[in-house]
């Protein structure tokens, strides 16, 4: 999606989450921030983290890449990226 017009921002997430939980927006924001922190800490310990039955976050090592740019060789060193996959249950969305 190239447009930001139909993207849910953090404030809207917090508002909806607070309503679903029946708590204040401050509590919902704190809960989301704690969950995010837990996911990041888990990714330091594990190669992948499953988020319920919804998605999987996994670390992927991208190999060194060599290419020619403006007549010069450019080398991108090996590095780790974070990849998100939606599980089969929710692929239809």
* Tens of each residue's pLDDT in the chain, 93 residues: 455 678 999 999 999 999 999 999 999 999 999 999 999 999 999 999 999 999 999 999 999 999 998 999 999 999 999 999 999 988 887
36 with 52, same domain?
A: no
For residue 3, what pLDDT is reported? 58
Helix, strand, coil percentages (3-state) for the chain, rounded to 5, are 40, 30, 30
Say if residues 58 and 87 touch (Cβ distance below 8 Å).
no
Q: What is the pLDDT of residue 4?
A: 62
pLDDT score at 47: 96
Parent domain of 14: 1-45
Domains held by the chain: number: 2
**How confident is the model at residue 5, as a pLDDT?**
79
**Residues 2 and 20 placed together within one structural domain of the fold:** yes
| Whole-angstrom Cα Rg for the chain | 18
What is the four-CA torsion angle of 89, 50, 33, 2, rounded to 10 degrees?
-50
């Amino acid at each position: 999606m190239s447009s930001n017009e139909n993207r849910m921002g953090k404030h809207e997430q917090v508002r909806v989450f607070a309503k679903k939980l029946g708590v204040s927006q401050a509590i919902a924001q704190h809960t989301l921030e704690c969950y995010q922190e837990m996911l990041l800490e888990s990714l330091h310990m594990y190669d992948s983290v499953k988020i319920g039955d919804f998605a999987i976050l996994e670390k992927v090592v991208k190999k060194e890449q060599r290419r020619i740019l403006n007549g010069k060789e450019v080398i991108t060193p090996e590095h780790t990226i974070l990849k998100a996959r939606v599980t089969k249950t929710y692929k239809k969305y």
